[in-house]
Structures are given as C-alpha cells and as structure tokens.
Structure 1
Amino acid sequence: MHELPKVGYLRLPQIIGDPTRDPPIAPIIPVGKSTWWQGVREGRYPKPIKIGARATAWRVEDIRALIERLGR
C-alpha cells in the first residue's frame, strides 16, 4: 500500500496515478480520470476541496476512508 501522509491533501495524479510523470506515479485508486470524476458526481468518491483558482485536492482522511470502504 502507498505511504499516505497522516494529514493533508492529495492532488488527482497522486490518487489515480500518472505514468507519464518522471518518475511515474503509481495509482492508489486505479481508475481513469473520467471514471474518477463520474464517481465524484455520483457520490462514490469524496468531494474535492478547491485549494486555488485552478487547483483541486482531496483530504487524505477522505481518501483513507475510501480505501477502507473499498476493502483494500
């Protein structure tokens, strides 16, 4: 399992991964970007928090709860 910080925020590439980065970022939740955003709209995934005009993040605590709910 990934080593998540105790508190803080995660950006989307940190959650769903990004193989194009150098070094590549492995996914915590292995879904595509469209699937992730659809899940947010449907309430399956946590709601994001705006941290800037063009920046969105998710609370680490919410991602931990999602991982527990998914049974990982």
Structure 2
Amino acid sequence: MTNTILRLPIVLKERGRSRSAHYQDIQQGLFTHPVQIGLRAVGWPYCEIEAINAARIAGKNDDEIRALVVKLEAARKSVI
C-alpha cells in the first residue's frame, strides 16, 4: 500500500485531524502538500502519511516534523 494515494476524507481519518487543522498543518510545514491526481483532484501518498504519523507517535517535535516534511517532498522528485 506504499504507492497508494489517499484522498482527503481518508487522510483526515488516518491523521485524526479536522479539515481546517489539516490544511493549517500544511501551511505551517507540518504536513506534506497534496499531489495532483487529476484536473480537480488531489491526494497524499500513503507512505508520507505513515511516516508523519510514526514521527508524531515517536514524540518528534514540530521542527523535526518540518524537516521530515521537507525530506518527504524532496523524495517525490527522485521517483521515476
């Protein structure tokens, strides 16, 4: 399931966050930006959701989460 792209309702359930809190996290660099999957559709790679949730569970602070988000978004560019 690592290559799966999840749409917003599932992402919110996986994270346990509201829609507004989710988008606020994106603005603050605490969650990855969505990927375009259609003309008017976006989603998030499941592996990124897993990684950020695991970091939260491990007790990482916001600065460490931001660094992880930067790393995850940079890794998107290296996929063929």
TM, length-normalised to structure 1: 0.72
1:34 and 2:20 equivalent? yes
Q: Structure 2 unaligned runs (5+)?
A: 59-80
Report the count of equivalent residues.
58
CA RMSD, 1 decimal? 1.3
Corresponding residue to 1:43 among 29, 35, 48: 29
Amino acid at match of 2:5: Y
How far residue 29 of structure 1 moved from its aligned partner, in angstroms, is 0.9
Amino acid at match of 1:71: I
Tell whether the 8 Å contact from 2:6 to 2:43 is kept in structure 1 after alignment.
yes
User: Which 4+ runs in 1 deviate beyond 2 A?
Assistant: none
How far residue 28 of structure 1 moved from its aligned partner, in angstroms, is 1.2
Q: Deviations over 1:12-62 (max 9, x none)?
A: 10111xxxxxxxxxx111111011011111110111101111101001111
- CA distance in 2: counterparts of 1:37 and 1:6, whole angstroms: 22
More helix by share: 2
- % identical aligned pairs: 26
* SS in structure 2 at match of 1:13: helix
Structure-1 residue corresponding to 2:38: 52
- CA distance in 2: counterparts of 1:59 and 1:68, whole angstroms: 15
Q: Structure 1 unaligned runs (5+)?
A: 17-26
